[in-house]
Structure 1
């Protein structure tokens, strides 16, 4: 068992564990203004055991949000911080998505209230990264200037060390000057990036992420050019990439589980995904452990300057993810994966 590797996270200017604990899952089921945003089947004690195991296995990066379980995830992580050395850890949370009051999520009063609640939930006096969780800044971006000013003020005061921002799921900088379907979204995001000037981005990347042509600047190349760090999320496809499709896992989800309304979790879509991944299961093994190794190593190989956030429910899942670090993929593995899943680079 090799020691946990670390990566230098640009923007934060700090070393973090290559694997970070993504704490969305452990928030449990929840709804945000009627929209399901949580996860079923989470036992708090078992989830806390996963956090403890992560510390034991060398994980130093923990990502949560005020809206994950409507504070439950933050409070579980806060329980860990009471028994762990805070200065050894990188803790990130988020603001801007919670819709629990009449005020807009980015109204200055609401942002101050949410930050105070987050710090109280975590039992800490600062965050290492504070993410703007949503790109909705009100009509005509009414709350954008105040939100940016607050984040910069908190960074200057040391209440946060770095400002974070979400990247689009699909992004090439060059799309902004085309008339393609992603042009407007790309221009909008580049405008927000220019206004916010974040230190760290979160970006979705996994086996199914599109490939880009050589002339296209994807989010990782873009971030590197701007000196911005990247945390990779959804490397396991929210668990869909791990498990072979069977009648046993065609389960029903509660009204507080986001999978109850996510089209990716319908039986038809899961069957299609199973067929698409079948050649990889034959080559690398059908078990969740084998697929976890494939998912994690694929992301780490693609972005050597980024850290990977992985969701979990218990200590066993933490062990499975970290065990994958002992078996890196080779160049021919990457070629094989892309040949199976992507016929050609994805362009618009």
Structure 2
């Protein structure tokens, strides 16, 4: 079996596996303040077996959050820490979506409580990366200054190795001063980026992400300019890019599965995605492992200094995602994929 590629993540300045384990999916079905945030059909025993398999295959980066399963994801990852030891694991978690009985997720008391709970769940005294998970810091950003102060204190104390924040799904720096559909979100990100000064950002990117104009500074170019690392999420489009959902028999989800309210999982959206991906399947094959290889290789090679997170609920999924990579795609193949799939305008469409 080929050795899993490693990369040095800017901002964190540690060598980690190029494929990381995205642990949202193993949190199971949950709701947060009435909003579905979870995943159906998660067996905790199978999920833990998947974490062990990931470690066996050379995965060193594990990304979770306090709100994933309302602590369940963190606790499963804590079992892995107890099983294999903390050394060699690079762990990130997040804060900002769960208020509990507090006034706001970013109220200083709530942040301190969540941080201590996260460390206890994980069985560690430090996080390699700690993310501001949400960009909602209350009315007029009333909690922003204190939240930044706490993060920087933990960073200075060594309890947090790098500070992270989320990036928009679609972003170019030049859009912030315009009037396009993503201008306000881009401007908001730039404002928070300047104030937070993160070391790492997390962004969504996959085969269906749009092309950018040559003069546009996308999130990857922006991060390089600032010496910031990028964690890429949803590289497989939550299974949509693998043909995991039949648009003629659209799936049904429980009221605590986030897909129950996500328009990307309606029959219409799934059919549109399937039709768009048809030329890719015809070119490379219909097997899910083949499609996973194309999707992951495309992202890895498009963002060669970033880390790609893949979700999973059982060992077979993480095994496929790590072992399917094979040889890199050629430049001609990358160009062909872009020609087959990409939108023709920089701000066109939404992403899976």
- Match in the other structure for 1:183: 183
Q: 1:213-246: CA deviations, max 9, x gaps?
A: 1100000000011000111000010111112653
Deviation string, structure 1 residues 55-96 (Cα, Å, up to 9, x no partner): 000000000000000000000000000011312111000000
Bigger shift: residues 317-326 or 289-298 = 317-326
Q: Superposition RMSD on alpha carbons, in Å?
A: 1.3
Question: How far 1:344 moved relative to its partner?
Answer: 2.0
Q: 2: CA distance between counterparts of 1:165 and 1:88? A: 24
- How far apart, in 1, do the equivalents of 2:100 and 2:35 lie? 12
**In the alignment, is residue 272 of structure 1 matched against residue 283 of structure 2?**
no
Instruction: State the partner residue of 1:297.
Output: 297
2: CA distance between counterparts of 1:6 and 1:193? 27
2:26 is the counterpart of 1:31: no
Q: C-alpha displacement at 1:141, in angstroms?
A: 0.3
Q: Distance in 2 between matches of 1:166 and 1:246?
A: 31
**How far does the alpha carbon of each residue in 1:114-145 deviate from its partner, in whole angstroms, 9 at most, with x for none?**
00110010000100000000000000000000
Deviation at 1:30, TM superposition (A): 0.2
Shift of 1:307: 0.6
| Match in the other structure for 2:57 | 57
Look up the match of 2:22: 22
Unaligned 5+ segments in structure 1 are: none
- 1:225 aligns with 225
* Deviation sequence 1:270-290 (CA, Å, 0-9, x none): 111111111111111112111
Q: Secondary structure at the match of 2:84?
A: coil
Where do 4+ consecutive residues of structure 1 move more than 6 Å?
none
Indicate if the aligned counterparts of 2:246 and 2:270 stay in contact, CA closer than 8 A. no
TM, length-normalised to structure 1? 0.97
Query: Quick one: distance in 1 between partners of 2:44 and 2:130?
Result: 24
* Deviation by residue 1:172-210 (Cα, 9 ceiling, x = unmatched): 001112222222221111010000000000010000101
- The runs of 5 or more residues in structure 2 that have no matched partner are none
User: Map of 1:139-178 to 2, 5 A cutoff?
Assistant: 139-178=139-178
- CA shift, 1:165, in A, is 0.3
TM-score by length of structure 2 reads 0.96
Residue by residue, what CA displacement relative to the aligned partner does 1:302-337 show, whole Å, maximum 9, x if unpaired? 100001000001111111111222232111111111
